[in-house]
């Protein structure tokens, strides 16, 4: 007798042997016990997780001859069960829908379904890869599937349920199969190795379970291949060479080099792997999985159940997670996901893999745009001492340290600490005073008022409030690329009221809303917060004063006159030589 592969030899023969699909088997067993079986089922899910196996077990349970009615667990020894298991039952017809997908084959099936089964209770049709059936064939099956004869049961197995028409899905009970968990695959491999009397290391079985990627059949197929290639004992190194995975510690070495921004070490590691015959695409996929697990370990902890990996791998991802912040790991995962996607259609795969890893190494030097804008807006002399800055002081030469980015504090972490940590109390001499800065277009002034409701947060009062011109100029300089918005804000009256930067401009609310986009608003808030040394909000309101024309006096009648007097329009005419062609007054139209 020829050798039978493990995936077929140990195929489950009853519901209790099915692994990882308790939600499906429990429902089917209850339906059989209560006599509430349907005439149509759709089994969908990942490959190799038991869809066709469950369909066969259900067929055996419906036609088992050990009882005069369907049973919850087939006996496995009667003629019906034996024939269904062997695949040669007359009344259980398995159809490969990938090759029998046309309307002619469905018409033949529909005609044959009219006749009663030859021996068993039900005539059962199992359509594997049902999503391959054409739309015309599905339409031909609609009426039969909706109201089939009482002796007919349809079972459709598919990996792509979204490709099955909704009209078919609404006529069937849909069971979505789940990917088998890592621990369940590992336990099954351990048990089968004992049955086959194969000596296997725990790390080797863990690699096989991870390579299965949620598919029990894939894991058993690789186990078959590993047993054939081993010299009597299954080791982790033999399995790693078989499936083509990189050595255990290489991924950790790569991320340690990325943490040090050591581009030369990254290139040397890639060269070593390529020289040993590793595929760039497979290595990129490994890096994606490793980074995903590292992100999970950073967020949920190294012992989280979300990590479907071995104990040694948990320790590795936990060590790497300590080297990076959550934002950095998310950025690295995004870079590697894009690299892995590009390798599928690029010719020079090695070059693109090296480029992706170099991007990760260079990303360590990046800082959030909010922090750069904040430091750019704060004068060099008023920056808090002891905090490194990425914005150089151009008035004197400075030698930058070799690894300046590593000393930076994430602004997200600093903001969280500020909100959650204890706030220091003000001294008696400081009192509950708050400063309100009023800046006009012509004569800025500073007014001190005692207003407890507008007092800044404790601990912030010690920071010196900058001169009015500094805040105004810093914000306008940050918006230098948007002349229309600069013209609008420059003509307004500026003030800081509590935790709000209030700008009153001589324009309508519609003009303000059109000019101040979301990106510009965030830029103003970031710059103002950096200058004031505390987070502030922005509120731009119309001042209620009519705009003053820069040129000769004009009449206020008509839409063109109002447009010509608008300071934004005047600024555009001065800077770009703009010309007013047409004026549409929407208020008059309404």
Closest CA to 113 of 105, 103, 131, 125: 125
Distance of CA 490 to the CA centre of its chain: 42
Report H helices in 502-585. 509-515, 518-532, 559-565, 567-576
* pLDDT of 433 strictly over 90: no
pLDDT in tens, 168-187: 999 999 999 998 988 899 99
Instruction: Report the alpha-carbon distance of residue 571 to residue 476 in Å, rounded.
Output: 14
* pLDDT of 538 strictly over 70: yes
Residue 85 structure tokens: 């298991």
**Are 279 and 359 part of one and the same domain?**
yes
DSSP letter assigned to residue 301:
-
Closest CA to 44 of 166, 159, 127, 154: 159
Closest CA to 358 of 391, 332, 386, 379: 332
Domain termination residue (choose one: 176, 197, 232): 176
pLDDT in tens, 377-403: 555 454 454 445 444 444 444 444 444
Full residue range of the structural domain in which residue 494 is found = 435-542
Q: Tell which wins on pLDDT, 493 or 442.
A: 493
Task: Give the pLDDT confidence score for residue 337 in this predicted structure.
Answer: 93
Closest CA to 266 of 351, 364, 358: 358
* pLDDT of 155 strictly over 60: yes
**Are 202 and 264 part of one and the same domain?**
no
Q: Give the count of beta carbons closer than 10 Å to the beta carbon of residue 301.
A: 13
Residue 415 lies in a domain: no
**Are 311 and 354 part of one and the same domain?**
yes
Instruction: Report the alpha-carbon distance of residue 150 to residue 33 in Å, rounded.
Output: 18
Residue 500 lies in a domain: yes
Task: Give the pLDDT confidence score for residue 254 in this predicted structure.
Answer: 92
State how many domains the chain has: 4
Residue 352 lies in a domain: yes
φ/ψ (deg, to 5) at 113: -70, -15
Residue 376 lies in a domain: no
Compute the 3-state secondary structure of the chain and give helix, strand, coil in percent, each to the nearest 5. Answer: 50, 10, 40
Task: Give the pLDDT confidence score for residue 25 in this predicted structure.
Answer: 94
**Where residue 52 falls among pLDDT bands split at 50, 70, 90?**
very high
What CATH code is carried by the domain that includes residue 218?
Answer: 1.10.8.60
Q: What is the mean pLDDT of residues 67-88?
A: 90
Task: Give the pLDDT confidence score for residue 276 in this predicted structure.
Answer: 84
Burial classification of residue 523, based on how many CB atoms lie within 10 Å of its CB (0-12 exposed, 13-18 middle, 19 or more buried) = buried
**Are 118 and 154 part of one and the same domain?**
yes
Residue 231 structure tokens: 């010299």
φ/ψ (deg, to 5) at 126: -105, 110
Residue 574 lies in a domain: no
Closest CA to 152 of 82, 62, 57: 62
**Are 132 and 151 part of one and the same domain?**
yes
Residue 161 lies in a domain: yes
**Where residue 39 falls among pLDDT bands split at 50, 70, 90?**
very high
**Are 121 and 88 part of one and the same domain?**
yes
Q: What is the mean pLDDT of residues 406-418?
A: 48
Instruction: Report the alpha-carbon distance of residue 461 to residue 25 in Å, rounded.
Output: 66
Provide the percentage of residues in the chain whose pLDDT is more than 90: 31
| Residue 463 DSSP SS3 | coil
Task: Give the pLDDT confidence score for residue 525 in this predicted structure.
Answer: 87
Lowest mean pLDDT among 286-290, 404-408, 476-480: 404-408
φ/ψ (deg, to 5) at 74: -65, 150
* pLDDT of 257 strictly over 70: yes
Task: Give the pLDDT confidence score for residue 397 in this predicted structure.
Answer: 44
* pLDDT of 280 strictly over 50: yes
What CATH code is carried by the domain that includes residue 458?
Answer: 3.30.300
pLDDT in tens, 320-356: 999 998 888 999 999 999 999 988 787 888 899 999 9
What contacts 398, CB < 8 A, 6 or more positions away? 392
Task: Give the pLDDT confidence score for residue 396 in this predicted structure.
Answer: 42
**Are 195 and 259 part of one and the same domain?**
no
Residue 238 lies in a domain: yes
**Are 172 and 221 part of one and the same domain?**
no
What CATH code is carried by the domain that includes residue 264?
Answer: 1.20.272.10
**Are 137 and 88 part of one and the same domain?**
yes
Instruction: Report the alpha-carbon distance of residue 496 to residue 290 in Å, rounded.
Output: 48
Domain termination residue (choose one: 223, 243, 263): 243
Domain termination residue (choose one: 521, 542, 563): 542
Task: Give the pLDDT confidence score for residue 51 in this predicted structure.
Answer: 93
Q: Tell which wins on pLDDT, 454 or 44.
A: 44
Task: Give the pLDDT confidence score for residue 378 in this predicted structure.
Answer: 52
**Are 497 and 352 part of one and the same domain?**
no
**Are 265 and 226 part of one and the same domain?**
no
Residue 476 lies in a domain: yes
φ/ψ (deg, to 5) at 121: -70, -40
Most confident of the ranges 340-344, 365-369, 375-379, 550-554: 340-344
Look at the chain and count its residues. 590
**Are 68 and 194 part of one and the same domain?**
no
Provide the percentage of residues in the chain whose pLDDT is more than 70: 76
Q: Give the count of beta carbons closer than 10 Å to the beta carbon of residue 24.
A: 22
Angular region, 41: left φ>0, alpha ψ -120 to 50, beta rest: beta
Task: Give the pLDDT confidence score for residue 21 in this predicted structure.
Answer: 92
């Amino acid at each position: 007798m020829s050798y039978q592969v493990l995936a077929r030899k140990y195929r489950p023969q009853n519901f209790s042997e099915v692994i990882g699909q308790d939600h499906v088997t429990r429902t089917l067993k209850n339906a059989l016990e209560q006599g509430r079986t349907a005439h149509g089922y759709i089994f969908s899910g990942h490959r190799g997780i038991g869809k066709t196996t469950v369909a066969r077990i259900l067929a055996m349970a419906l036609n088992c001859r050990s009882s005069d009615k369907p049973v919850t667990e087939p006996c496995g020894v009667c003629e019906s069960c034996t024939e269904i298991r062997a695949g040669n039952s007359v009344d259980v017809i398995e159809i490969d829908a990938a090759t029998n997908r046309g309307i002619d084959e469905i018409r033949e099936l529909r005609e044959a379904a009219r006749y009663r089964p030859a021996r068993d209770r039900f005539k059962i049709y199992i359509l594997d890869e049902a999503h391959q059936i054409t739309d015309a064939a599905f339409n031909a099956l609609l009426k039969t599937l909706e109201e089939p004869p009482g002796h007919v049961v349809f079972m459709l197995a598919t990996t792509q349920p979204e490709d099955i028409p909704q009209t078919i899905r609404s006529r069937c009970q849909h069971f979505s199969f789940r990917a088998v968990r890592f621990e369940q695959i590992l336990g099954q491999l351990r048990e089968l190795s004992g049955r086959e009397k194969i000596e296997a290391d725990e790390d080797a079985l863990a690699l096989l379970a991870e390579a299965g990627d949620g598919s029990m059949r894939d894991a058993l197929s690789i186990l078959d291949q590993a047993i054939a290639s081993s010299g009597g004992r299954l080791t982790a190194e033999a399995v790693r060479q078989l499936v083509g995975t990189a050595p255990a510690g290489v991924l950790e070495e790569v991320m340690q080099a990325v943490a040090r921004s050591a581009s030369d070490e990254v290139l040397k590691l890639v060269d070593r792997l390529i020289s040993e015959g590793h595929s760039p695409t497979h290595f990129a996929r490994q890096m994606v999985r490793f980074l995903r697990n590292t992100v999970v370990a950073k967020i949920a902890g190294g012992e989280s159940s979300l990590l479907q990996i071995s104990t040694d791998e948990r320790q590795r991802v936990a060590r790497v997670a300590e080297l990076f912040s959550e934002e950095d790991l998310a950025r690295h995962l995004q870079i590697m996901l894009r690299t892995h996607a590009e390798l599928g259609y690029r010719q020079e795969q090695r070059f693109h893999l090296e480029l992706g890893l170099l991007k990760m190494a260079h990303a360590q030097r990046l800082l959030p745009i909010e922090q750069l804008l904040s430091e750019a807006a704060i004068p060099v002399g008023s920056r808090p001492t002891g905090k490194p800055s990425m914005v150089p002081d151009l008035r004197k030469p400075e030698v930058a340290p070799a690894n300046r980015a590593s000393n930076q504090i994430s602004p997200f972490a600093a903001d969280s600490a500020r909100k959650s940590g204890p706030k220091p109390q003000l001294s008696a001499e400081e009192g509950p005073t708050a400063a309100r800065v009023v800046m006009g277009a012509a004569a800025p002034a500073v007014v001190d008022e005692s207003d407890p409701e507008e007092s800044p947060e404790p601990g912030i009062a010690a920071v010196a409030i900058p001169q009015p011109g500094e805040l105004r100029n810093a914000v306008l300089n940050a918006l230098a690329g948007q002349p229309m918005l600069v013209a609008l804000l420059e003509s307004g009256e500026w003030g800081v009221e509590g935790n709000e930067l209030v700008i009153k401009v001589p324009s309508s609310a519609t003009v303000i809303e059109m000019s101040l986009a979301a990106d510009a608003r965030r830029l103003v808030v970031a710059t103002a917060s950096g200058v004031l040394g505390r987070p502030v909000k922005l509120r731009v309101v119309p001042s209620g004063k009519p705009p003053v024309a820069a040129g000769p006096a004009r009449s206020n009648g008509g839409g063109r006159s109002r447009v010509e007097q608008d300071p934004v329009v005047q600024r555009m005419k001065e800077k770009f030589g703009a010309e007013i062609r047409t004026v549409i007054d929407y208020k008059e139209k309404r």
